[in-house]
Structure 1
Amino acid sequence: MMKYLQRMGRSLMLPVAVLPAAAILMGIGYWIDPDPSGWGSGNEVAAFLIKAGSAILDHIAILFAVGLALGMSKDKDGSAALSGLVAYLVITTLLSSSSVAMLQGVDVAKVNAAFITIENPFIGIISGIVASIMYNRFSHVKLVDFLAFFSGKRLVPIMSAVAMLFVSLVLLFVWPVVYTWLVTFGTSISKLGFAGAGLYGFFNRLLIPTGLHHALNSVFWFNVAGIDDIGKFWSGKGTKGVTGMYQAGFFPVMMFGLPAAALAMYHTAKTKKKKQVASLMLAAGFASFFTGVTEPMEFVFMFTAPLLYLVHAVLTGLSLAIAAWFHWTAGFSFSAGLIDFVLSSKLPLANAPYMLLVQGLVFAVLYYSIFRFLITKFNLMTPGREETDDLDGASAEAASAASTAKEDKFTAMAAVIYDGLGGDANVTSVDNCVTRLRVEVKDMFAVDQQKIRSTGIPGINIVGTNSIQVIIGPSVQFVADEIEKIRKL
């Protein structure tokens, strides 16, 4: 079950990665014409950019349906993505307010409010899951001769549509109950004000290792329970100083806190290993600061020093609570890095966003001081403090890879990693998310972790008896592509 949920989280990263495009378009548009009384009404260029950006944000549910269907299908085939769209169109049409009113024989005004917001990310996720199941089950089915045209991949969209008829029937009764529960949950957190924001931030970070943080995020960031913090912030339809409270507190952590933690780990590394640790910490810290991608940084200490990760989760919750308490707001479409901070700081609902930078400086001191104290006090095995020679003891193959021309670094890195995983004899499948290689192996004991670590990766995560994750960072796609070439040889 956990593995399946992690695959979902990985697949959702594809549509989520599209959101920065909307941020750039809408951010520039609002920057040109920030008048909240009619954004873009005074400038044609601004209106063009804002509408272009909203075309993405207003259809997140469709992106989720298509992206999840594609990512969860065994072949990553385009017919699976088409099936996700078909499934979404079927259920949102059948459960629209007008259709439900007809089915129940009542006036549209008397239809449960749950069906007014049926075009939401939750329904998109269900559509994508159903479509992927249909693809994995029916994409190779051969029908009798007179129906042969509809065999195989052509059968998948048809079966997805049929399956969604039954799903729609179930949700006709279940969805109002689920909707009410989600609204109640979101409302209960909202009523806690700054404390609720703090609790959300704490559990957001705590769930990162499992990938379940995506489910939590959907309640607060998207229009699943009516909060829709991201959508309302970027569309300017919320409340100034309140909308954005589930986003703002991440900026001090990702732009300042984690880079400061990286500095603390560098300063506490053994002298002979500081040069290697510096390159690792610099890359991870910069990714966190500039883009808000924190996994390369977090996986550095998540499993080697879980105490530090617990502290990180607590500090993240504290940051969200403080920002919400003072009504300092800024937003993001992808993550809380410098790019999104600059783009969102000029939006109508941004409230004293530069105070988040001041807060960030304070959190930099907190992260650095606490991390350095705990590392030295409890002799935590952060990078550069290991008793083994993981960072220094590269094998002959790794040394050869290091001498490869710079333009071939991903080829060399992939070769060493794949060999460390056991090669063709041990690896059964390789996939990747935004920062990690996700690998299935036959025998975990055949994996040479030291050889894999010799490439300078941030870390390794064993998630099951046959499942291993190699943490690489934002450049993971290039390594994955090279491994795929090796497997095809």
Structure 2
Amino acid sequence: MKDKVMNQLQHFSKAMFIPVLILPIAGILIAVGNLFTNAKLLEILPVLNNPVTKGFGTILSGSLVAILNNLGLIFCVGLGAGLANKKKSEAAFTALLGFLVFINAMNKFMNLTGILYTGDSLRGTGQAMVLGVQILDMGVFLGIILGIITAMVHNKYCDIEFQNAFQIYGGSRFVFIVLIPVVVLMSVVLTFVWPFVQMGITGLGAFINHSGNFGIFIYGALERLLIPTGLHHLVYTPFLYTSLGGTETIGGQVFEGARNIYYAEMADPSIAVLSPSVIWDARGISKMFGLIGACLAMYHTARPENRNKIKAILIPAAFTSFIAGVTEPIEFSFMFVAPVLFAVHAALSGLSMVVLNLLQVRAIGPNGFIDFLLYNVPLGIHKTGWPMYILTGLGFFVIYYVVFRLLIQKLNLNTLGRETEGLEMKLHTKAEYKEKAAAEKSKKDKAVKEDVDGFRIVEALGGSKNIEKVDNCYTRLRLILSNPELVQEEVLKHDTAASAVVKKGNNVQVVYGLQISAVRKAVDEALGKNENF
């Protein structure tokens, strides 16, 4: 039962990536739009101070805010597709239809029972306009609930087919037929139940906010500690996109969640200072600075004869963490061989967020340095305090380096380059080393680009008959295997460029980083399956 629950949670976590990963794109484009309307930038570059470029910036940032106002629909369709076992596009379309049925059914029922508020402003009433329809303000939770329900109904009934005159009602049409009474009944039930749920969510959000720096520390540390399970997305997503991360009224509209508030405030030039709730999105300190210090500490504490070897590993991993915010290759390098370092890393991550809160820094850098520049610099120093963010990051670079180096040496931890078992101890000339390094780099480059050997990966996973289900998220290949003991971890790491292998019951995750799309495609081709496998 425990493994089954874990598998379901990981499946849900992966499905959340479909809507979640599209939102930073909207945020970046809002930031780009602000570049063309930023008063200070227009003073520096007068050529941009014209109706065409200013109009373009206004349209770009203003139009994309509409995505933030319809997160419920986005999550509903995204989860409907992500949680469907097959026929994903049909599941997404059915989820859209179910969403429309739900909001109109709830509106009609609330009107019939006299619950529908008829005043001029809905603020503080617990009701909101969704696609022009007035219903209870369920925010992104509405999309999550309907996405899950749609996927459950779809997975159960999408293969049902009828004969003769009724055959047109089979498949996805039958799914929609079943879904209609389900969502209508849900709309009635939630009309009475949701106000109590909302009270609980509001109370939890208030408790966290009143916890102050302690709450921020717990959030930051927990978000890192759950990395091995792949469930860390379930920690930060509610804070970024629901009322748990704060509620602000901007331009007459109510926005919930730290990331949504930040994006909306970016698009509104009248906002002088960003609201404190965006501190929940300040996860970039450990990614852009802290783990770089950890890499340097591991390099300096490695055996002298191994430093050149691990440099070829650490430099690309550090660069990826700094630029793109992908930390797993670094974290998995010490997570299991030196878990005390991972615990310290989680604590320092939480502490960095507390420091930013104390300094009242509102800058963010969740996905690396490129995002940091686009999000913060156009808004100015007064609004975000981004120079202090960099200074804080440099401080944590030093802290990470000192703490990691001290612990590695004092506890004699077997981090990269300190292992003795299996190492080739003979000395090499400089020419021999260069030749060997070039060969290893060529082999690794081949594995992580278009020539990913899917058949080798499948073989190392115990063969095609051992693989029950294949999935992937942003950096990991996620699998359900019949017998996890057949997995050849060393082959996956050495021959296919995997950073780590994590086993939890029949659920196995293989970390590949940013090249995961190529890996997934190669595995699917080796299995002779499509993406719905």
> With structure 1 as the length reference, what TM-score do the two structures score?
0.88
Corresponding residue number in structure 1 for 2:368: 337
Residues in 2 aligned to 1:304 and 1:167: alpha-carbon distance in whole angstroms? 48
Query: What are the residue-to-residue correspondences of 1:351-370 with 2, within 5 Å?
Result: 351-370=384-403
Alignment CA distance shift 1:195-1:10 (3 Å): same
Alignment CA distance shift 1:124-1:354 (3 Å): same
C-alpha contact (below 8 Å) 1:417/1:452 kept by paired residues = yes
Deviation at 1:253, TM superposition (A): 1.3
1:463 equivalent to 2:504? Answer: yes
Corresponding residue number in structure 1 for 2:461: 421
1:319 equivalent to 2:352? Answer: yes
Corresponding residue number in structure 1 for 2:264: 235
Alignment CA distance shift 1:107-1:11 (3 Å): closer
Q: Deviations over 1:252-293 (max 9, x none)?
A: 211100122122223333444434432332222222211222
Alignment CA distance shift 1:151-1:62 (3 Å): same
Corresponding residue number in structure 1 for 2:313: 280
C-alpha contact (below 8 Å) 2:460/2:488 kept by paired residues = yes
Corresponding residue number in structure 2 for 1:292: 325
Query: What amino acid does structure 2 have at the position aligned with 1:130?
Result: I
Deviation at 1:480, TM superposition (A): 0.9
2:20 alignment partner, one of 12, 16, 41: 16
Corresponding residue number in structure 1 for 2:519: 479
Across the two proteins, how many residue pairs are aligned to each other?
475
Alignment CA distance shift 1:14-1:277 (3 Å): farther
2:176 alignment partner, one of 139, 157, 160: 157
C-alpha contact (below 8 Å) 2:466/2:481 kept by paired residues = yes
Alignment CA distance shift 1:219-1:425 (3 Å): closer
RMSD after superposition: 3.0
Q: Point out the more displaced range, 362-371 or 212-221.
A: 212-221
1:246 equivalent to 2:272? Answer: no
Deviation at 1:308, TM superposition (A): 1.3
Residues in 2 aligned to 1:291 and 1:316: alpha-carbon distance in whole angstroms? 17
Alignment CA distance shift 1:476-1:104 (3 Å): same
Q: Point out the more displaced range, 381-390 or 72-81.
A: 381-390
1:7 equivalent to 2:11? Answer: yes
Alignment CA distance shift 1:403-1:90 (3 Å): same
Corresponding residue number in structure 2 for 1:432: 472
1:65 alignment partner, one of 38, 60, 76: 76
C-alpha contact (below 8 Å) 1:121/1:223 kept by paired residues = yes
Corresponding residue number in structure 2 for 1:185: 204
Corresponding residue number in structure 2 for 1:264: 297
Query: What amino acid does structure 2 have at the position aligned with 1:209?
Result: P
Query: What are the residue-to-residue correspondences of 1:61-210 with 2, within 5 Å?
Result: 61-75=72-86, 77-96=88-107, 100-104=110-114, 107-109=117-119, 113-116=125-128, 118=137, 120-143=139-162, 145-210=164-229
Residues in 2 aligned to 1:288 and 1:265: alpha-carbon distance in whole angstroms? 16
Corresponding residue number in structure 2 for 1:395: none
Structure 1: where are the runs of 5+ without partners? Answer: 393-398
C-alpha contact (below 8 Å) 1:245/1:329 kept by paired residues = yes
Q: Point out the more displaced range, 138-147 or 443-452.
A: 138-147
State the SS of the aligned residue for 2:349: helix
C-alpha contact (below 8 Å) 1:138/1:155 kept by paired residues = yes
Alignment CA distance shift 1:342-1:405 (3 Å): closer
Q: Deviations over 1:187-245 (max 9, x none)?
A: 12212333332222122222333344333323321134454111111111775352421
Deviation at 1:461, TM superposition (A): 0.5
Structure 2: where are the runs of 5+ without partners? Answer: 41-48, 129-135, 248-256, 426-438
Deviation at 1:387, TM superposition (A): 4.8
